[in-house]
Amino acid sequence: MAAGFRIAAVAALLLLAAACAPRQRQAAPLPAPTQPPASSQWIGRDIIQAACLNDLVATGAKFELIAQAEPGKDGCTLQNGVRLISTSVDLVRPAEMTCPLALRLMQFEKDVLLPEAQRVFGQPLKQINHAGAFTCKRMTGNGSRISEHGHGRAIDIWGFVLADGRRISVADHFRARGPEGQYLRGVSREACRFFAVVLSPNADAAHAKSFHWDISEWKRCGS
């Protein structure tokens, strides 16, 4: 089945869902197919993706759909991919990831990143600095496996910017005594409630400068 058609089908479902979103918080009912699908497998996957996109629209995130590419030669794939342009704050640059990771990030931002910035600094968060989400690379410490980044299920965060321009970086402030360190250590601890694997400078030397948050099937809280 052509990728273009699939994207068009998802986009149509998304538009329908987005139109209904302001009136109800739950996923809008999806239209019944008028003829038997050529492959029930991809239809099922696209309905799940449409529900995720519907929820992502409701968060106010700005994003674009990414056409699904064939797996790369290393086995890296991005299924149900979105290019996240901004959340409720700025991103240092757009980030490509699965819709479920984008949704989890939005929830974490709303429940932890934003209120913690307000509580610790008395001002809003303005920007998230990340070092990429979907990128084809191997796991640190186990080079035979593809990292969760290779499937768009992980993101690396190296810092934040506050409304007044103040910069907070994992490399400079994670172990600092001031409010920057308090903020970074606090959000890293809380990240374990939202993500499957959380790695910080406390986890290993490879994460001395950035947090790794993913939604893999493993569970590790290295915050």
Residues near Zn ion (CB under 5 A) are: 154, 156, 212
Q: Which residue has the tokens 């959000």?
A: 187
Q: How far is the CB of 174 from Zn ion (least distance, A)?
A: 16
Query: Is residue 139 within 8 Å of residue 145, measured between CB atoms?
Result: yes
Cα separation, 66 vs 70, in Å, equals: 12
**139 bridge partner residues:** 142
Q: How far is the CB of 195 from Zn ion (least distance, A)?
A: 11
Closer Cβ to Zn ion, 57 or 76, answer by number: 76
Closer Cβ to Zn ion, 10 or 105, answer by number: 105
Short-list 82, 122, 89, 118, CA closest to 103: 82
Q: How far is the CB of 148 from Zn ion (least distance, A)?
A: 7
Q: Residue with the closest Cβ to Zn ion?
A: 212
Cα separation, 64 vs 83, in Å, equals: 5
Q: How far is the CB of 215 from Zn ion (least distance, A)?
A: 12
Closer Cβ to Zn ion, 96 or 156, answer by number: 156
Short-list 216, 105, 102, CA closest to 150: 216
Q: How far is the CB of 21 from Zn ion (least distance, A)?
A: 31
Closer Cβ to Zn ion, 49 or 147, answer by number: 147
**95 bridge partner residues:** 84
Q: How far is the CB of 156 from Zn ion (least distance, A)?
A: 4
Closer Cβ to Zn ion, 36 or 141, answer by number: 141
Closer Cβ to Zn ion, 104 or 212, answer by number: 212
- DSSP for 90-152 reads EEEEEEEEEHHHHHHHHHHIIIIIHHHHHHHHSS-EEEEEE--SS---EETTEEEEE-GGGGT
